[in-house]
Structure 1
């Protein structure tokens, strides 16, 4: 018996056509499906959005999560077609909003619209459907012959077809002449999925650079910012000479504002214990993001704050692995 799958279409490059103002999402989910030819699955289609992913924001995350939750018991797997620019953010947020989802949910898109002869869209869509049929329950991103854990993905290229990489963990699976070859499958926990879309979007993601004025962080807080992720240097180093960022973090923590320290380096972890510049920040209360992506760190912070967590609870939350987003020592 063939697997019953659902395609939720949201727009993006994969569904775009040329217009006077550039590429605009116009193709329906049915249009995408027709261009794939025959598939060995029983596929339903629902068009839920028609947006460039630059316009997909927290309101759309909530709506997408609600749609997945609504249909999850009617299908063996769900494919979400999505623009590439913010797909890693959506995949990360869905990992927190839909913890313990009972089926595989696979996000995909393309670098070139599906109606272009040499588009990567058909291959990516076929892979997404195959992943939705065989993967363990969870949130995934399928792209360029790789199936990746959603909360570990980052868009790393703007033009080439291998646009996404799985950061700090291997891809869940790759496609070879043998078919889908799994490196691992996420563990299945026998827990009921609970939809939880409560988030606080009053957060900021700041990339540290030499000369950054720490007073800007306090200006953000005065404007309503409730939490900050700082992409620090290397293992999480932050300056304390002249422009005392370390001292500013201590003040923010005492004000009840969680400050998460991640690394500007794409690969490997932040470790505030190794150098003096990190240890001082740790002593002031900075919270390490470990080997999380920035996309995962900022969405995890939004979700944690949305649950009403205070700075100490956020610290504990960031030391828990919720959906495979962090490697704990």
Structure 2
């Protein structure tokens, strides 16, 4: 049987970092990563497209990554993207929307320790990503610490431990155990063609609600060309309306054509604006529920939707649509 053809797109990150006078900085190429990894049972091609710490990966780099994936998608059985961990969940989430109906598995991975350090987690993560790219159905994934997660459900939850990422509100797609590489969940296949669409609107704001937050700050955002907001509200989506009326400020913004999406500060489970009065106040004002989406997925979905010219109602409809497994809808 012919070996699976896998493309490694290298973008930098801790996995490719080396020691410098300024601290760890990306300095190794994708070829050096493969050489350190050693033999793999795949036909691997390497292309270096960026060499950045992921804290410096921004919307301009998202476009570069999406275009590279799209351009190469028909020439390989799968694509692995090596990426820094700090913003990898944002990048993987955005790829979910920029590359809808992708026709091959695309797997993001990185490490907590550089590849060239003894006992690094990088070799295992890279091996896992290759295995996932060679065997999973088409979608955007994130591979880390023996788990494969949907990119749009992944969140970085630890700064130094090797189990840095978790799959939020859905189980991992696959994992490695003593039984080997086990695929646990699948999504229905689609015959729709992949379309590259990198139009996004970055004039958005994500903030965490806290006791004492002044709603005038929300109104100030509207005056400074903010086009959409994601609020990490309390619990199921509750917002203050006594003395500091956040719900009323949300209504004012929505009347100005600025969509406001409510997600939960709680990492697990969902927002539900219908259950408590403090949520219903916001719902009456027009707040849009993110249901059980991650904040990373909600903000990138909002950016992408606004980039398509969607108005408030269209954004509400978009957030009531499951594009690629990013949300659980009743």
**Structure-2-length-normalised TM-score:** 0.99
Give 1:239's aligned residue. Answer: 240
Give 1:78's aligned residue. Answer: 79
Question: 5+ unaligned residues in a row in structure 2: which ranges?
Answer: none
- Displacement of 1:218 in angstroms is 1.3
- Displacement of 1:220 in angstroms is 1.2
The separation in 2 between residues aligned to 1:183 and 1:38, in whole angstroms, is: 27
The separation in 2 between residues aligned to 1:247 and 1:221, in whole angstroms, is: 14
Give 1:50's aligned residue. Answer: 51
The answer to whether the 8 A contact 1:138-1:186 is kept is no
Secondary structure of residue in 2 paired with 1:110: coil
The answer to whether the 8 A contact 1:262-1:288 is kept is yes
CA RMSD of aligned residues (A): 0.5
Q: Deviations over 1:282-307 (max 9, x none)?
A: 01100000000000000000000000
Give 1:274's aligned residue. Answer: 275
Secondary structure of residue in 2 paired with 1:73: coil
Q: How does 1:36-47 map to 2 (within 5 A)?
A: 36-47=37-48
The separation in 1 between residues aligned to 2:188 and 2:64, in whole angstroms, is: 27
- Displacement of 1:65 in angstroms is 0.1
Give 2:6's aligned residue. Answer: 5
The answer to whether the 8 A contact 1:258-1:314 is kept is yes
The separation in 1 between residues aligned to 2:221 and 2:274, in whole angstroms, is: 27
Give 1:136's aligned residue. Answer: 137
Q: Deviations over 1:227-269 (max 9, x none)?
A: 0000000000000000000111111111100000000000000
Give 1:90's aligned residue. Answer: 91
The separation in 2 between residues aligned to 1:162 and 1:302, in whole angstroms, is: 29
Q: Deviations over 1:199-239 (max 9, x none)?
A: 00000001000000011011111111000000000000000
Give 2:113's aligned residue. Answer: 112
- Displacement of 1:177 in angstroms is 1.6
The separation in 2 between residues aligned to 1:189 and 1:212, in whole angstroms, is: 44
Count of matched residue positions in the alignment of Structure 1 and Structure 2: 329
Give 2:174's aligned residue. Answer: 173
Secondary structure of residue in 2 paired with 1:69: helix
Give 2:152's aligned residue. Answer: 151
The answer to whether the 8 A contact 1:131-1:147 is kept is yes
Give 2:221's aligned residue. Answer: 220
Give 2:250's aligned residue. Answer: 249
Question: 5+ unaligned residues in a row in structure 1: which ranges?
Answer: none
Give 1:189's aligned residue. Answer: 190
> Is 1:62 the counterpart of 2:63 in the alignment?
yes
Give 2:306's aligned residue. Answer: 305
- Displacement of 1:178 in angstroms is 1.6
- Displacement of 1:187 in angstroms is 2.0
The separation in 1 between residues aligned to 2:188 and 2:111, in whole angstroms, is: 28
Q: Which runs of 4+ in 1 moved over 2 A?
A: none
> Is 1:35 the counterpart of 2:36 in the alignment?
yes
The answer to whether the 8 A contact 1:140-1:150 is kept is yes
- Displacement of 1:186 in angstroms is 2.3
Q: Deviations over 1:61-90 (max 9, x none)?
A: 011000000000000000000000000000
Secondary structure of residue in 2 paired with 1:280: helix
The separation in 1 between residues aligned to 2:64 and 2:220, in whole angstroms, is: 32
- Displacement of 1:103 in angstroms is 0.2
